[in-house]
Amino acid sequence: MTGRYDRQTILSEWGDNGQELLDHSRMVVVGAGGLGCPALLYLAGAGVGQLTIIDHDMVDTSNLQRQIIYKTSEVGQLKAVLAKSFLEQLNPEIKIDVHTEEITLQNVSLYLKGHDVILDAVDNFKTRHLIAKAGRNLEIPVVFGALQGFDGQLSFFAPHMGTPCYRCLYPDEPSWKPAGKNKGVPGAMPGMLGSLMALEATKYILSQQEVSADLLTLQKGYVLTFDGRTGESHHRKLSKNVTCSLCGTS
């Protein structure tokens, strides 16, 4: 191991073995925007061996308030390509792949297969449902993050491991809208939530070593909500829906 990771490998929950697991892990981040930027930064910094970035969007001036890896001079360029360049400078020891096409029913499984964890950092329900279905079919856990203004949500979906899925939380498109175009959001909110998504994905990999399994708790079957107005967070139990159209048993 290089000295790059010394401050994390000294953690009892981490160690050299945990770092080795991360070095051999493959994670895919769908969305290189407000949530994806901080998630990618911390996954690359932690030494995740292979990162895949999926985003078809280009940098807009309005993104710069919260999408912290892009510069004013890069407005109009593809986010995924820029993110790859930035992260390679941050950590040249990892491998980074990019896809600049929009996620569709036809390509979602192709792009997500072969990864250990999927980070759902998108801002629309259509794509979230595609990711949820592909994650279930491919048996890959999905770390979910969503924002609406000062409100944030985080969860860990792995129906093949007995957890609820995204459709158990949102069977249909709800009135609760995630932050997207024409939606207000404080810049620090996606920074905080995207960092938590990276932590959750990292914990999942680390928990595969016996020494960490009992020390790290994942958001399996729970939704963590955070209110940026008050600083209050809540850990809400999410029950598996037996009539769920994606993972139900009836």
Query: Which tokens in the block code for residue 240?
Result: 């598996």
* H/E segment holding residue 90: helix 79-90
Poorest-pLDDT segment among 42-46, 197-201, 245-249: 245-249
Nearest to 188 by CA among 34, 72, 40, 61: 34
Q: Which CATH number fits domain 3-237: 3.30.2230.10, 3.10.20.30, 3.30.70.980, 3.40.50.720?
A: 3.40.50.720
Q: Does position 249 have pLDDT exceeding 80, yes or no? A: no
* pTM for the full predicted model: 0.94
pLDDT of residue 245: 87
pLDDT of residue 2: 61
Q: Does position 30 have pLDDT exceeding 90, yes or no? A: yes
Region 20-30: what's the mean pLDDT? 97
CA 39 to chain centre: 6
pLDDT of residue 174: 55
pLDDT of residue 171: 85
pLDDT tens digit string along 57-73?
999 999 999 999 999 99
Split at pLDDT 50, 70, 90, the class of 175 is: low
Place of tokens 């770390």: 143
Share of residues in the chain with pLDDT > 70 (%): 94
Place of tokens 């593809």: 78
pLDDT tens digit string along 78-134?
999 999 999 999 999 999 999 999 999 999 999 999 999 999 999 999 999 999 999
pLDDT of residue 154: 97
Q: What is the DSSP letter of 177?
A: P
Asked if residue 33 lies in contact with residue 125, where contact means CB atoms within 8 angstroms, the answer is no
Query: Which tokens in the block code for residue 141?
Result: 């856990």
